[in-house]
Amino acid sequence: MYANDEDKAPVSLPVQSFTMTFGAPVTDFAAAFEEQEPETSSEKVEYLYSSNKFVLNDVFGDNNDKMGWQRVRGGFKLYLSEGAKDRWYFNFELEMPTSYFTKMTTDGTIIYQWISFSDESNAQAAGAAACKLQAGSVKKTAAHQWDVAVNMSSQSADVIGKKWSKQNFATKIAADKTEYKAMYWNDIFALAASDRTDYSI
């Protein structure tokens, strides 16, 4: 989390790692769509879900022993129309007490979340995706992509002392070439209520 666009010393959440087994992408459109579904329709098939909890004090140093959660979901987005390019998607989620988001909105805090991935059986199949959001400004978003192995850890030499937009800059895919988009127009970045009292997502 960065204080602003010029910040080079972010507050970092704990890094989580996990191993997932992926099969071939599901492309059974008969199961995904109704017969009369318009050709412009799409369907998401989720393959990946990970949730990591952390103590707020460990991140913010504010003596708050309550928990926060960071989650990531990923999968394959299928399009019904012939010739459309099916693609992977990733969604990031952060759940904390609402008061934290209120302060972030007031301060204009930038939340930058990422996932890097690699294939144990294919060294060439590596990359990363990242999403930027400015708290309280859902249109100030960005999506970044890498198609090579990169170290996105806050301890990486390509991250330390750099703005959020300059991380691993040399190998980052140009904005007009990336396959990932930050879809601010469908309220995906809007703050949502949590089932936990006084928490938001």
52 DSSP β-pair partners? 70
Radius of gyration over every alpha carbon of the chain, rounded to an integer in angstroms: 18
What's the pLDDT score for residue 17?
78
Q: Which residue has the tokens 């995906």?
A: 188
Spatial separation of the C-alpha atoms in residues 199 and 201, rounded to whole Å = 7
Q: Domain residue spans in the chain? A: 29-194
Handedness of CA 136, 141, 143, 144 (dihedral sign): negative
Closest CA to 189 of 109, 78, 115, 91: 91
Closest CA to 118 of 194, 188, 18: 18
- Quote the pTM value: 0.82
Beta carbons of 19 and 37 less than 8 angstroms apart = no
Beta carbons of 145 and 174 less than 8 angstroms apart = no
DSSP 67-112: EEEEEEEEEEEEE-STT---EEEEEEEEEEEHHHHHHHHHHTPEEE
Q: Per-residue pLDDT tens for 158-173?
A: 999 999 999 999 999 9
Positions of the chain with pLDDT lower than 50, given as ranges: 29, 32-37
Q: Per-residue pLDDT tens for 100-122?
A: 999 999 999 999 999 988 877 77
